[in-house]
Structure 1
Amino acid sequence: MKKYKSYHSSVKICYALSIENHLLPNDFLKSIKPSTAHYWKSDNPDKFVGSEFASSINHNIDDLQIIYDAKVQQLKKMFVTFCKVYLTILGFIGEKDFKSIIRTNRNAIVDLIDTTCNSVSERNWICKFLKITPHSYLTWKRYQDYFCEFSLLNLCFKRVPQQISRNEIDMLQSFMTNKRFYHWSVASIWGLAFKQDKTSMALSTWYRYAKRLGYTSARKAYKKKRKRISIEASTVNETWHMDVTYYKTLDNIQYYIYTIVDHFSRKILAYDVSKKLSASIRLASLKRAINNEFDDCLEKPTVELIVDGGSENNNHTINQFINNSQVSIHKKVALKDVTFSNSVIEGTYRILKNKYFQDRPILSSTIKREVDFYVYDYNNVRPHYIHKIYTPCEIHNNKSLKNVKPKLKNAFQNRINDNRKTSCVKNC
């Protein structure tokens, strides 16, 4: 009995599509009888299940034949070689530097994509090949389409109304170059400008434009990493911080600066400047703070007092006063009774020494006046970073100002509306 060969369905498909010469080796093709090959090519497809899909397959036969044409095979090999070269160059340059080169020549990249792509899918593939996102391409294209030389961002104010207006740029320059605010932080300068309705920028936007205009580099100073605070106050006069620092004047006399700071508002409640480090001076500033804050209280208030471990804060005089005070004071030593440091009050000393005193000749005859100016400016004029646009005194007197987000949001919307009304040289 003669044994018949059974062929794989993939071989039959190759014959049905007439691509057997491209995919199958010659020795194997010669082993197949011509009658069998003819049968596979001419057999009636209607007798097979799924024959209704044959027409859609036939429509792609020409494409398959082109793909496996000898000339196309050569092009395919060239493309594979190009991809290998591309990956090698990318490895030499580094993906980060490659992206930087693309960004630097973004106008040429946008023109290239526009001229070579006929569909969104083609554009997305080229973007992926060039290591950029489709969103970046659209943003770069918008920069080209909406170019305007009168804008700092080179974008038309009407088409892109979210950007900062010309008047606000001038106002930023005025504030950042004002010598009066040289010892202020950038955040405090922005806070004052916003509170006076001179700008509608958010703090992050103010930082970005100040950096673009070159106003932040000259103000940079080394900052130690701040220790994380693990205490929060929900209202004023709930938690106080008390400490002493020293400062040596140019005529070589050492002074001690005593302060008491409210945690919630960051207001300096009381302070003293003296050549002596003593419990009596420390007690005087504490009494003054209590009299100023609780003089009209009918009930006995409670205050949590955070101090350092120095002898000026921890002695018989201070402890005796706390035990007999009209205020219930719970004194705790930082890093001993609690796990966190007394960094809130230490921050006021850093501002005093590194910002206010750094460009002033502080002498024994002027140090009291300079500290007076600092405390007044810090409490009443200079917006505190933690309060965005408000000063410690403003928050101390009205704690509802702590929620500044609605005002910032309203200013942002007003800026958009004003920019949309701005006349443009393009009359767009």
Structure 2
Amino acid sequence: MKGLLPDLYRRQIHKSLISKWRKESPDKYTGYELNDNIEELYELMKKISEDQRLLRTIRAFYRVNKTLKDIIGIGSDYIKRIKEFKFQIIETVQRNKKTIGIKRGIKLFGISPSTYRIWAMESYFRCGQSLAKLCSSAYPQQLTVKEVHKIHRILSNPDYAHWPIISVAYYGMREGILKAHPNTWYKYARLMKLKRKRFRKPKKEYDDGLRAKAPDEKWHADITEFKTADGRTSYIYLVMDNFSRYITSWRIADKVCAKVRIETFEETIINAGITPNQKEKTELIVDGGTENNNKEVTTLLQKYPVDKLVALKDILKSNSMIESLNKLIKYNYLYPRNIHDQEELVKIMRKIVVPDYNDKRPSGQLFGLTPAEAYGRKTANFKKIREKMIEAHHKRVSYNQTHACLGCPFGCKQN
């Protein structure tokens, strides 16, 4: 029993009980070995408390470790999450730089020295009056307050809720509302936590699709179903131009038939100005449905230089471009609305969907042009766009450098 209990406890135990324990097997009693561990831990803590330098170092590592755990614990995407806590990281490294050093501190967080310097500057010039949390005088490239309000207003506008942010950004540049790069729009939308709501389905993997070099070089045709609130299924017939993504013709019917399909083909051919004697041929990509592959369709197309190709049969490529258009129309325009019947569906397609998609909504794939503009062979003037953005940048810097933040602690002066 000697050495198994502290002397203070041993003196309080009766001699007869101690004599009895000595005669018993030591295996009968468990847990006595913890006494050695406790005494060892106590001595270690006593030595640490006496060494102030060692105590500060341990506290510093504890703070860094706790900060890191708080960040990692929020989500698995470490790189993305760590940026959200950059000011907290800078504060932790600065508080403990005398004990563990800055180099070792940033290494613990897994950030580079250049990133640390940028974050340290942003931390120093932190400003609660700016959405970007940075002093506008020290960082004059950021958007002005008025420009931020414009982004918030247009992204919150229900008229553009079905547009992606890149389309809204190009629309803002085209209309002179705000001249800023689409990436800037994404940044401030993220800062303001403005998200585009979408009805999403599992993504399909597509190979690189067919790409035309000019309008009316390749067309795509397809039919998609849409069920209205009255339980009735309508069939939306679409024909689109490959080069411009322009909807050249559309119809809505109660059933799938060759008659309606021919109407859309004929309308597309006439609107494109294609004549029977024209030398340049146009490819019409369709699927294997009977509405596309019948004598009536063949008779019509034989009159014109239009070659009908069945996707994944006559060519190895799919009809993915118009399938994407089907999804865009239904999930961005139709599903968010409570469409009662087919009559209302036709009205919405004619007055809202087709005009908005063809003539108003800028496309990121077309570098800010609308499908109608691209179909009309208009090209994006990148030089002019660049000049306008540079001009807006200079005005932004000038404004931020001459307009103070409210209660700015960095000596900004109102001119």
- Matched residue of 2:300: which SS? helix
Equivalent residue number for residue 412 of structure 2:
427
Aligned in 2, Cα 1:220/1:271: closer, same or farther, shift over 3 Å? Answer: closer
The answer on 1:232 being equivalent to 2:211 is: yes
Distance across 2 between alignment mates of 1:377 and 1:95: 43
Choose 404-413 or 188-197, whichever is displaced more.
404-413
CA 1:223 to 1:142, structure 2 compared with 1: closer, same or farther past 3 Å?
farther
For residues 331-367 of structure 1, the C-alpha deviation after alignment (integer angstroms, 9 at most, x for no partner) is 2111222222212112222122112112232312212
Specify the code of the residue in structure 2 equivalent to 1:330.
D
Q: 1:189 aligns with which of 164, 168, 176?
A: 168
Deviation for aligned residue 1:276: 3.1
Unaligned residue ranges in structure 2 (runs of 5+): 1-50, 405-410
Quick one: structure 1 residues 148 and 298, their matched pair in 2 at CA, closer, same or farther if it must change by over 3 Å? Answer: farther
Name which of structure 1's ranges 341-350 and 355-364 shifts more when overlaid on structure 2: 355-364
What amino acid is aligned across from residue 109 of structure 1 in structure 2?
T
Aligned length: 341
Structure-2 separation of matches of 1:164 and 1:420: 9
Deviations 1:358-383 (A, max 9, x none): 22323122121111121111101111
Report how far residue 405 of structure 1 moved: 4.4
Aligned to 2:262: 283
For 1:311, the aligned partner's letter is T
Q: Work out whether residues 158 and 419 of structure 1, in 8 Å CA contact, stay in contact via their aligned partners in 2.
A: no
Aligned to 2:177: 198
The C-alpha deviation readout for 1:242-301, integer Å capped at 9, x for no partner, is 111222222233222111100110000111112232112111111111111125797433
Q: Secondary structure at the match of 2:271?
A: helix
Partner residue in 1 for 2:154: 175
Are 2:286 and 2:292, in contact at CA under 8 Å, matched by a contact in 1?
Answer: yes
Quote the offset at 1:196 in angstroms: 0.9
1:365 pairs, out of 343, 349, 370, with 343
Matched with 1:248 is 227
Percentage of matched positions with identical amino acids: 26
Alignment correspondent of 2:36: none
Report the residue type matching 2:173 in the other structure: F
Find out whether 1:109 has 2:92 as its counterpart: yes
Aligned to 2:308: 331
Contact (CA 8 Å) 2:220, 2:322: kept in 1 or not? yes
1:334 aligned partner, one-letter code: A
One of 245, 248, 266 as aligned partner of 1:269? 248
* 122-131 or 328-337, larger mean C-alpha shift: 122-131
* Cα distance in 2 for residues equivalent to 1:193 and 1:230: 30
Amino acid in the other structure paired with 2:243: F
1:210 paired residue among 189, 208, 212: 189
1:258 aligns with 2:258: no
3-state SS of paired residue (1:387): coil
Give the number of the structure whose alpha-carbon radius of gyration is greater.
Answer: 1
Specify whether residues 168 and 223 from structure 1 end up closer, same or farther in structure 2 by C-alpha distance, changes over 3 A only.
farther
In structure 1, what is the equivalent of residue 329 of structure 2?
352
Alignment of 1:414 with 2:391, yes or no, is yes
1:387 deviates by 1.8
For residue 205 of structure 1, give the secondary structure of its aligned residue in structure 2: helix
Residue matched to 1:51: none
Could you tell me which residue of structure 2 aligns to residue 43 of structure 1? none
Cα separation, 1, equivalents of 2:102 and 2:130 = 29
Matches of 1:254 and 1:319, distance apart in 2? 28
Contact 1:236 1:399 in 2 (8 A): no
Shift of 1:311: 0.7
1:256 alignment partner, SS class: strand
Matched, 1:143 2:130: no
Write 1 or 2 for the structure with the bigger share of helix.
Answer: 1
Give the TM-score taking structure 1 as reference length: 0.70
Partners of 2:198 and 2:254 in 1: how far apart?
32
The 3-state SS of whatever aligns with 1:105 is: helix
In structure 2, the CA distance between the partners of 1:393 and 1:269, relative to structure 1 (3 Å rule), is same
The verdict on how the C-alpha distance between 1:191 and 1:419 changes in structure 2, with shifts beyond 3 A counting, is closer
Q: AA paired with 1:280?
A: K
Which whole-Å CA distance do the structure 1 matches of 2:288 and 2:385 have between them?
A: 41
Residues of 2 paired with 1:243 and 1:102: CA distance? 49
1:168-224 superposed Cα distances (whole Å, 9 cap, x missing partner): 2111111111121222233322221221121222222212211221210x6143243
- Tell me the TM-score normalised to structure 2 length: 0.72
Which stretch of structure 1 is more off in the superposition, 388-397 or 219-228? 219-228
Partner of 2:33: none
CA distance in 1, matches of 2:110, 2:301: 67
- 8 A contact 1:110–1:141 mirrored in 2: no
For the structure 1 residues 166 and 398, does the alpha-carbon distance in structure 2 shift closer, same or farther, using more than 3 Å as the test?
A: farther
Q: Give 2:288's aligned residue.
A: 309
Show structure 1 runs of 5+ residues with no match.
1-74
Aligned to 2:39: none
Distance in 2, matches of 1:155 and 1:102, equals 15
Shift in Å, 1:153: 0.7
Contact in 2 for aligned 1:379/1:393 (Cα 8 Å): yes
Alignment partners' CA distance in 2, 1:364 and 1:220: 23
CA contact (8 A) 2:222 2:237 kept: yes
